[in-house]
Amino acid sequence: MIGLSHYLILAAILFAIGIVGVIRRKNLLMLFFATEIMLNAANIAFAAISSYTGDLGGQMFAFFIIAVAASEVAVGLGLLILIYRKYGTLDLDNFTMLKG
């Protein structure tokens, strides 16, 4: 029988995969993908806790996370398009103009 901890451990593994993506990738679009993975891991944890405790609050938080993710993608992709038009690349190593 599947318990709550199974779901939480799955969420932790997926979150760690997202962290590996954020650390490893240098392409801005890939960083966005890794962020989506981490948000989804949090969603799984929320839904699992909500289901196993009989409290709908977790599902509500998952809904709001989905809303935040949608608006993040809308604004973030607009910014990505701007960056790509200005510099012609999405590589993070090219955006070091702030270094002292």
Partner 1 sequence: METFAFYLFSILIAGLFLVTVLSRNVLYAMTSLAAGMVLISGLFFILGADFLGVVQLIVYVGAVMALYAFGMMFFDATGVVKERNTPALLVFLLGGLSAVMLVVIFAAPAIGSHVTPSFRTPQGVDNPHAVGLVLFTKYLVPFEVAAVMLLVAMIAGIILAGKKMDTSLSKISDGEESQAAGKEER
Note whether 93 binds partner 1 by CB under 8 A.
yes
Residue 47 near residue 63 (C-beta atoms within 8 A) = no
Of residues 5-34, those binding partner 1 (CB under 8 A): 5-21, 23-27, 29-30, 32-34
- Provide, rounded to whole angstroms, the least separation between the CB of residue 80 and partner 1: 6
- Provide, rounded to whole angstroms, the least separation between the CB of residue 3 and partner 1: 9
Query: Quick one: which of 50, 56, 49, 24 has its CA closest to 37?
Result: 24
Note whether 81 binds partner 1 by CB under 8 A.
yes
